[in-house]
Amino acid sequence: MESFGAYLRSLREQNGKTLEQLSNSTKIAATNLDFLENDRYDLLPPKVFVKGFIRSYVRELGLDPEEAIAKFDDFVRDGEMPDLSGNESPVFINEPSKSSFIFNPWFTRILTVAGIISLGILILTGATRLFYSPQTPSESVLGREQASSSQKSLKQDSRHDTPQRSFSDSQQPKAGKKILEIKASANAWVRVAPDGGPAEEFNMAPGDVQIFSANKSFSLMTGNAGGIRIRFDGKVLQPLGKNNQTLSLTLP
């Protein structure tokens, strides 16, 4: 029996399309399309996202996506892909798949505790200013009583102040390194793969912050494009999309 990935590849080749062309038009990372064509479902997100990729892939070829989805469902029933829950939501899976430790209840609890501890550390170090204008040095460091005595030196230093930004300045781009910062404003599932290497999957709650570094690029996927903000290599990007929108992109 022909694998589902081989079926997709034959459709693409018959239409004279390359993976890069499909990636540019569907906004799905070329690596994920390659995973689809090679039946590497262990490297892809839950089934609800895979079906979204398939619909975009086939629709871009001018074909009926429902026929491809039917073949995909047949393929799953044949047992060639780990059986996933049929109740996936656009962001989280209500009934986790046993095939991935990411969705194990204990892992979720550990991740939540780690997130709370990390948030406490960020609060203590002042990183909660991430989306707010920082206080002036006279208020945050010297105090009101000392501000009057040091006002002259602060005025001299103010000529060298950098513009305030919505992201913290604690993570500046390092020489030869790319820095990716992700902040969640709503619940969001996120998957990040630096330099095409092993990917890290995690769930983010409002206020959570994740910071990554890479030599060249990042592959990013999320189930809630409107629920996260991105700063890449020191530049704050425009909102990625709408709430609960599935999105996959490569930076830069």
Quick check: is 143 in a domain? no
Using CB atoms within 10 A of its CB, is residue 69 exposed (0-12), middle (13-18) or buried (19+)?
middle
Residues 26 and 65 in one domain: yes
Residues 62 and 106 in one domain: no
Quick check: is 149 in a domain? no
Residues 45 and 106 in one domain: no
Rg (CA), the chain: 22
**Neighbour order of strands in the sheet with 188-194:** 200-204, 188-194, 218-222, 247-251
Quick check: is 205 in a domain? yes
Ramachandran region, residue 233 (left: φ > 0; alpha: ψ -120 to 50; beta: rest): left
Residues 31 and 115 in one domain: no
Residues 101 and 59 in one domain: no
Residues 250 and 193 in one domain: yes
**Neighbour order of strands in the sheet with 228-232:** 209-214, 178-184, 228-232, 235-236
Residues 41 and 17 in one domain: yes
Residues 239 and 214 in one domain: yes
Q: Provide the pLDDT for residue 85.
A: 46
- The CATH number of residue 61's host domain is 1.10.260.40
Quick check: is 217 in a domain? yes
Residues 228 and 175 in one domain: yes
Domain enclosing residue 240, as ranges: 91-133+168-252
Query: How do residues 96-124 score in pLDDT, each as one tens digit?
Result: 444 445 556 677 778 788 888 888 787 77
Q: pLDDT tier at 174 (50, 70, 90 boundaries)? A: low
Closest by CA position to 189, among listed 58, 48, 51: 48
Q: pLDDT tier at 207 (50, 70, 90 boundaries)? A: very high
Q: Provide the pLDDT for residue 31.
A: 93
Number of domains composing the chain: 2
Quick check: is 123 in a domain? yes
Residues 100 and 40 in one domain: no
Distance between CA atoms of residues 168 and 231, nearest Å: 10
Distance between CA atoms of residues 168 and 132, nearest Å: 9
Structure tokens at 56: 């975009």
Quick check: is 142 in a domain? no
Contacts by 14-20, CB closer than 8 A, 24 or more apart: 15/61, 15/62, 17/60, 17/61
Residues 180 and 59 in one domain: no
Which position has the token pair 């769930």? 203
Q: Provide the pLDDT for residue 33.
A: 93
Residues 217 and 96 in one domain: yes
